[in-house]
A and B are shown apart, each in its own frame.
Chain A
């Protein structure tokens, strides 16, 4: 059977994956702290159909052999941890990280990581994310506190109506040697893996860690225009691969018509 049928099929599968990644990026364009992904492709192995050094009909040696490639394969979907845009929200518990670092959340004893700083206070006064996972290290806002502030170094304080401090502390962020190696858990959360390495903990603004900006949210780093262009390129690449399949099909039909 003609190899191109399968070769072009690998091209279509790869472009389909690319569209899936682009669609997910676009779907999350308004998700706070979302980081876009990119599908990376590599050429597949080559089949050697004649070796270099083989004799040609003219008696010369072929300077280079013939190696026909078998198409393309997806290798990785890489998360791209560039900074997202900031949006001013005015909410006390909207915190944006400017620079490196992740918030840590406790998911039933397991620490997960996130860039999404749209935090809430639960009924017990604990600061948690939109899903109710508590921030690590835990912060409990006293019931009679009326003002809560956090500075760029992560030092927070809660004061009452009269301006008396009720509680204070400092948050910690986590940083990874290789953030691209983190696993996406969905829900804006990441989990560490062998590839990401162990988290390095530090206070904001210390040891290259990012700083905290209160009343701002980090939006996604998805650029709609860029994704739209990728979508067009992907669709057209899908189309040309389908044309290669049609050509191979037409040639197979001609072969079948040889016998009358």
Chain B
């Protein structure tokens, strides 16, 4: 047995972080366009400290039919581009609205970008079709800008359903992304797996605490018994 109490305490802390990460996934089980993220603990030899790696699962979430003219879901790779206060961010949430200036915006009020910049739709009947074109009173206007990344794993989450590119994700124009009008993409949380992972975390944590108690018993025995004549 080479582990010390300190090692086990560190591992226990990583288990708590893993639980935090699972709880975040579960809290967002019903958030449209949310992508699951996982923490992996990897025992690194010969050092005893574990490496913790995080990855975001960019797989497709299920589509839900809403029938709303401004709800759109992406099928396949790609993101919608939105303008935030500090640059362009990317999202899979397609529950768009029009603001008082008739601009297409996210529910957080950020402008949705088309291939020609912000999209303004003045008209009585505004909807988005299967090619991503914004149709105003029957005539096609600007098209939604869909961005694909060569390396989506480099994207960072910044909350509000947004992803940002720290400069390494290499954007490229999406060609094969299909758009489902009148749909929203649900989160891609595998709820069953996350429940199982939660049980695993809790039980492993329990094992660590038992090991800590064992080591502390051994310490006590060696302090009290070793060198003592019966």
For window 35-78 of chain A, which residues contact chain B by CB distance below 8 Å?
A: 38, 40-46, 49-50, 52, 56-58, 62-72, 75-76, 78
Shortest Cβ-Cβ A-B pairs, 7 listed: A11-B27, A208-B124, A4-B23, A69-B24, A45-B159, A7-B23, A244-B23
Contact across chains for B107 and A244 when beta carbons are under 8 A apart: no
Of A40, A69, A244, which one neighbours B37 at CB under 8 angstroms? Answer: A69
Contact across chains for B30 and A41 when beta carbons are under 8 A apart: yes
Cβ of B29: which chain A residues have Cβ within 8 Å of it? 11, 237, 240
Question: In the complex, what residue of chain A is closest to B192 when comparing beta carbons?
Answer: A240
Q: Which of A134-142, A145-153, A177-185 contacts B (4 or more CB under 8 A)?
A: A177-185
Contacts A67-B157, A75-B107 known; A56 to B51 CB distance under 8 Å? yes
Interface size classification for chain A = 35 or more
Instruction: Encode contact with A along B24-55: 1 for CB under 8 Å, 0 otherwise.
Output: 10111111101001010000100101111111
Q: When chains A and B are docked, how far (Å) is the Cα of A181 from the Cα of B158?
A: 26
Contact across chains for A57 and B49 when beta carbons are under 8 A apart: yes
Assess whether A254 is interfacial by the CB under 8 Å rule.
Answer: yes
Q: When chains A and B are docked, how far (Å) is the Cα of A50 from the Cα of B21?
A: 14
Q: Which of B111-119, B141-149, B199-207 contacts A (4 or more CB under 8 A)?
A: B199-207
Cβ of B153: which chain A residues have Cβ within 8 Å of it? 63-64
Contact across chains for A66 and B30 when beta carbons are under 8 A apart: no
Assess whether A212 is interfacial by the CB under 8 Å rule.
Answer: no
Contact across chains for B26 and A208 when beta carbons are under 8 A apart: no
Contact across chains for B20 and A178 when beta carbons are under 8 A apart: no
Cβ of A178: which chain B residues have Cβ within 8 Å of it? 97-100, 102
Contact across chains for A4 and B19 when beta carbons are under 8 A apart: yes
Residues on B lying within 8 angstroms of A by beta carbon are: 12, 15-17, 19-24, 26-32, 34, 37, 39, 44, 47, 49-55, 66-68, 93, 95, 97-100, 102, 107-108, 122-125, 137, 153-154, 156-161, 166, 191, 194-195, 198-199, 201-202, 205-206, 209, 212-213
Contact across chains for B159 and A244 when beta carbons are under 8 A apart: no
Q: When chains A and B are docked, how far (Å) is the Cα of A63 from the Cα of B30?
A: 29
Report the minimum CB–CB distance from A216 to chain B (whole Å).
Answer: 22
Give the interface SS of chain B, mostly helix, strand, loop or mixed. mixed
Q: Which of A86-94, A117-125, A159-167, A191-199 contacts B (4 or more CB under 8 A)?
A: A191-199
Contact across chains for B68 and A244 when beta carbons are under 8 A apart: no
Instruction: Encode contact with B along A108-124: 1 for CB under 8 Å, 0 otherwise.
Output: 00000000000000000
Cβ of B198: which chain A residues have Cβ within 8 Å of it? 243-244, 247
Report the minimum CB–CB distance from A144 to chain B (whole Å).
Answer: 39
Cβ of A71: which chain B residues have Cβ within 8 Å of it? 23-24, 27-28
Q: When chains A and B are docked, how far (Å) is the Cα of A180 from the Cα of B206?
A: 50
Contacts A11-B23, A75-B107, A251-B202 known; A100 to B124 CB distance under 8 Å? yes
Report the minimum CB–CB distance from A137 to chain B (whole Å).
Answer: 21
Question: In the complex, what residue of chain A is closest to B70 when comparing beta carbons?
Answer: A180
Contact across chains for B107 and A14 when beta carbons are under 8 A apart: no
Contact across chains for B27 and A67 when beta carbons are under 8 A apart: no
Cβ of A57: which chain B residues have Cβ within 8 Å of it? 44, 47, 49-51
Cβ of B160: which chain A residues have Cβ within 8 Å of it? 42-43, 75
27 A/B residue pairs, CB under 8 Å, sorted by A: A2-B20, A3-B16, A3-B23, A7-B20, A8-B27, A40-B95, A41-B28, A43-B157, A45-B158, A46-B157, A57-B47, A58-B44, A63-B153, A66-B54, A68-B17, A68-B20, A68-B24, A69-B159, A80-B68, A177-B98, A178-B102, A237-B29, A241-B27, A247-B19, A247-B201, A251-B16, A258-B212
For window 203-260 of chain A, which residues contact chain B by CB distance below 8 Å?
A: 207-209, 233-234, 237, 240-241, 243-244, 247-248, 250-251, 254-255, 257-258, 260
Report the minimum CB–CB distance from A178 to chain B (whole Å).
Answer: 5
Question: In the complex, what residue of chain A is closest to B154 when comparing beta carbons?
Answer: A64
Of A67, A208, A243, which one neighbours B195 at CB under 8 angstroms? Answer: A243
Cβ of A41: which chain B residues have Cβ within 8 Å of it? 28, 30-32
Q: When chains A and B are docked, how far (Å) is the Cα of A65 from the Cα of B54?
A: 7
Contact across chains for B28 and A11 when beta carbons are under 8 A apart: yes
Contact across chains for A72 and B124 when beta carbons are under 8 A apart: no
Contacts A208-B137, A247-B19, A258-B209 known; A177 to B24 CB distance under 8 Å? no
Contact across chains for A194 and B137 when beta carbons are under 8 A apart: no
